[in-house]
Amino acid sequence: MNRVVHPIEEESYRRLRARLDTSHFPPLTRAVVERVIHSAADLDYATDLVMAEANLQKAHAALHAGAPVVVDVEMVGAGITRRETVCRLKDAVAGAGLTRSAHAIRLAHEQVGPGALWVIGNAPTALEELLTLDADPALVIGLPVGFVGAVESKAALRESGLPAVSNISEKGGSAVAAAALNALLYHPTSAEEKL
């Protein structure tokens, strides 16, 4: 993917790297950490994020092979550039014991099936619902924000054994979730690196 980087972004990354050494991270982990920090101007994400390079490599390959990208809210989808996303929130309804966000995840799962990349940046109940489904994801970016359920849903994601990007604290949100996906989207494939 050819992408022109604006000089302001270049300078932002220069300043980020002047304040935080990220050179010890493996390539995709570094890309995710830096893009999330860049999106939030929050250096604490360097120690708050949890991910495995091997999972990122598989997700990167799936993403560049055309795997669907599902988002929990339109704001996450709006932040993901140069890629169509699936968001079923407009079609979802709340019911007894089921939030609208959780229902949207069910609808999206029925639509995309296994192998998708799931990007959840808003609703802990969306992440909780995803964990009840047999989604067989390429990756779950689980970064919902909030004081109720966010920490617990992200802990449950890590305990599930699914390939994931999460964080330990209450922090998160649409911008950082989209940034984590964009990091994989912008990172060159091996074919692009040879050009």
CA 26/CA 38 separation, integer angstroms:
18
What is the span of the domain harbouring residue 14?
7-186
Q: Give pLDDT, residue 6.
A: 81
The sign of the dihedral angle between the CA atoms of 92, 94, 100, 103 is negative
- Tell me which residue of 166, 163, 189 sits closest to 177, measured CA to CA: 166
pLDDT, tens only, 15-31: 899 999 999 999 999 99
Please tell me which residue, 114 or 14, carries the higher pLDDT value. 114
Asked if the model's pLDDT at residue 194 lies above 50, the reply is no
For residue 57, being part of any structural domain is answered with: yes
Q: What is the pTM of this model?
A: 0.93
Sheet containing 164-167: give its strands across.
49-50, 164-167, 139-142, 117-120, 69-71
The whole-number pLDDT of residue 191 equals 55
- For the annotated catalytic residues, the residue numbers are 38
Give 152-187 pLDDT, tens digit per residue: 999 999 999 999 999 999 999 999 999 999 999 999
pLDDT, tens digit, for every residue of 25-78?
A: 999 999 999 999 999 999 999 999 999 999 999 999 999 999 999 999 999 999
Tell whether 194 is covered by a domain. no
Assign residue 25 the CATH number of its domain.
Answer: 3.40.50.10230
Beta bridge partner(s), residue 71: 119
Q: Is 192 part of a structural domain of the chain?
A: no
With b meaning 16 or more CB within 10 Å and e meaning fewer, what string describes 48-69? bbebeeebbbebbebbbeebbb
Based on the structure, what is the number of domains in the chain? 1
Q: In whole angstroms, give the CA distance from residue 118 to residue 105.
A: 9
Is the residue at 139 inside a domain?
Answer: yes
Query: With 70 as the cut, is the pLDDT of residue 87 above it?
Result: yes
